[in-house]
Amino acid sequence: MSSASFTYSVFTDPALARTAFAALVAREPEALSVVASVTEGLVADPARGVGPRWWAGTDEAGEVVAAFMHTPPRHLHIAYATPEQGRGLAALLADSHDMLPGAGGLREPTEAFADEWVTRTGVTATVSMEIGRFHLPVRPRIPFEVPGGFRVATTADAHVVDEWHQQFYEAIDGPGALASSLDRHLALGRVGLWVHDGRPVSMAYASPVNGGVTRISGVWTPPELRGRGYASGVVAALSSARQDAGESCILYTDLANPTSNAIYQAMGYRRVGDNVDFTFTA
């Protein structure tokens, strides 16, 4: 597939997609974090994905300069592209009568993709979330006392980790949303728990490192245990542990939640980019 001097190559094999994006991940590891970690997970366990696709945008020199990914039933992910490249892929997919539930990613190319998709398909695009990307350039700190302490989760914690991860997914995507497995993260020691009075009270996990970057995600405290700083404790401690391992930490937040954004910034995270997510409806 091509658009002017720009060529789109589509992949359905995660191993081939990983190879295609390797140089771009090395150059832009923060923007490519989601693509890199999801692709790595599908290389390790292809059965986790049903019909995944990746598009690598290549310029005249043969260099991959844009990255897109779709892992149904989730929205198309626009990791790295120019607005023109976003519009180009929308045109190609619309012309081939592709079906997409939505698109999300880097703000400008995602907005361009959505505009072109609406023009060509007649659907309605609604902003479902405004998202901030935050980077941690310093050692994390918590500006208040949090009762309890941090530990790395083990496979013995799989039941509570899986239960909370499912609740996290449903809080974002709605009831019935199916959470991805964290078995690999547990085996690699990348899930953190905050423990108080001998029991876990909050969790978070760090994506496998790609290009030196890990993404802190899955931050979850059961509703009845909130308001005590547990989530702040586990995010700060897990971020510190990953820094100790030589990794650079990022995280994504819902910009409609000023409380969590303020907490992360007080911890030391700094906003470095914006994403947006659109839902398409007929």
> At a CB cut-off of 8 Å and minimum separation 6, what does 44 contact?
184
What is the average pLDDT across 62-72? 97
Residue the block writes with tokens 């090395």:
26
The pLDDT tens digits for 105-152 are 999 999 999 999 999 999 999 999 999 999 999 999 998 999 999 999
CA distance from start to end of the chain:
26
Q: What are phi and psi of 267, to 5 degrees?
A: -70, -25
Residues 252 and 207: their CA atoms lie apart, in Å, by 12
Tell the burial category of 144 from Cβ atoms under 10 Å away from its Cβ (0-12, 13-18, 19+). exposed
Residues 186 and 144: their CA atoms lie apart, in Å, by 29
pTM: 0.92
Residues 9 and 3: their CA atoms lie apart, in Å, by 11
Around Cβ 246, how many Cβ atoms within 10 Å? 8
The pLDDT tens digits for 200-236 are 999 999 999 999 999 999 999 999 999 999 999 999 9
